[in-house]
Amino acid sequence: MIKWIENPRSLEDIQGENGKAVVLLFYGDFSSPAKRAVAELEQFSEDNKEINVYALDVVKVKGVHKKYGVNSVPTVIALQKGKVTQMIKGVQSAQYYGRIFAGVQSISHKPGAKTVTHRVVVYSTPTCPACNTAKAYFRRRGIRFRDVDVSRNQQAAESLVRRSGQQAVPQIDIDGNLIVGFDQTRIEKLISN
């Protein structure tokens, strides 16, 4: 079930909940797509009870959207420790939200377990389904990564083409090893080292 944020202070409180990630809908009663997004997120929330889903009405809770770079409704974001880890503009299906936000729940590590850190960079575009699948995969595995949107970063896009000879996305750099596309078998080999 979606919980509604009534004021900016409430939003600060939910972000402090043990570092757990949350999904947040920016809503406007004036927007038909936003109303559909509420219905889809209600279904998503039913299917993913371990993920906290919140919504705020931008007319009632003013100014918060600017802090997160939101400039239209509906927009759905995932927040982890106050930082946006994922953003979806427009309305999508509950199943789509499930695929994208599948990895936002907190990953718990066993005490005493060895932690291996890899440098992971995902080069992506906002409209690429395989890019979102790759990012959700890393989140589910609890692997930190940097997301570079090559549709907004021309220099990174040109550098990537020079390195791989391809314009395809996603391209994933794991510790200097470049993978073109979401090749899960190859990714797992690199992160298991």
Question: Which CATH number is 64's domain given?
Answer: 3.40.30.10
SS3 57: strand
Cβ atoms 179, 187 nearer than 8 A: yes
Under 8 Å CB-to-CB from 10, ≥6 apart: which residues?
Answer: none
Q: Are residues 69 and 138 in the same domain?
A: no
Q: Is residue 113 part of a domain?
A: no
Q: Are residues 96 and 124 in the same domain?
A: no
Candidates 75, 19, 34; CA nearest to 66 is 75
pLDDT tens string 123-132:
999 999 999 9
Per the model's pLDDT, the better-predicted residue between 115 and 156 turns out to be 156
Band of pLDDT at residue 19, cut at 50, 70 and 90? low
3-state helix, strand and coil shares in percent for the chain, rounded to the nearest 5: 35, 25, 40
Element (H, E) at 124: strand 120-124
Question: How confident is the prediction for the chain on average, in pLDDT?
Answer: 84
Band of pLDDT at residue 103, cut at 50, 70 and 90? low
Question: Which one-letter amino acid corresponds to residue 110?
Answer: K
| Average pLDDT for 100-107 | 54
Q: Are residues 91 and 130 in the same domain?
A: no
Q: Are residues 40 and 90 in the same domain?
A: yes
Q: Is residue 33 part of a domain?
A: yes
12 vs 6: CA distance, rounded Å: 11
Which of 100, 134, 169 is the endpoint of a domain?
100
Residue 63 pLDDT more than 90? no
Q: How far is CA 127 from CA 33, 43, 162, in A?
A: 18, 23, 23
Band of pLDDT at residue 187, cut at 50, 70 and 90? very high
pLDDT tens string 69-89:
899 999 999 887 778 888 889
Whole-structure pTM value:
0.54
Q: Is residue 169 part of a domain?
A: yes
Q: Are residues 56 and 10 in the same domain?
A: yes
pLDDT over 70, % of the chain:
88
What are residue 173's phi and psi, to 5 degrees? -105, 115
For residue 107, the model assigns a pLDDT of 36
- Residue 126: count of CB within 10 angstroms of its CB: 12
Residue 60 pLDDT more than 80? yes
Per the model's pLDDT, the better-predicted residue between 193 and 162 turns out to be 162
pLDDT tens string 107-123:
333 444 445 578 899 99
Per the model's pLDDT, the better-predicted residue between 104 and 1 turns out to be 1
Q: Number of folded domains in the chain?
A: 2
Q: Is residue 114 part of a domain?
A: no
Per the model's pLDDT, the better-predicted residue between 96 and 35 turns out to be 35
Domain that holds residue 124: 120-191
132 vs 169: CA distance, rounded Å: 10
Question: Which one-letter amino acid corresponds to residue 134?
Answer: A
Q: Is residue 105 part of a domain?
A: no
For residue 129, the model assigns a pLDDT of 94
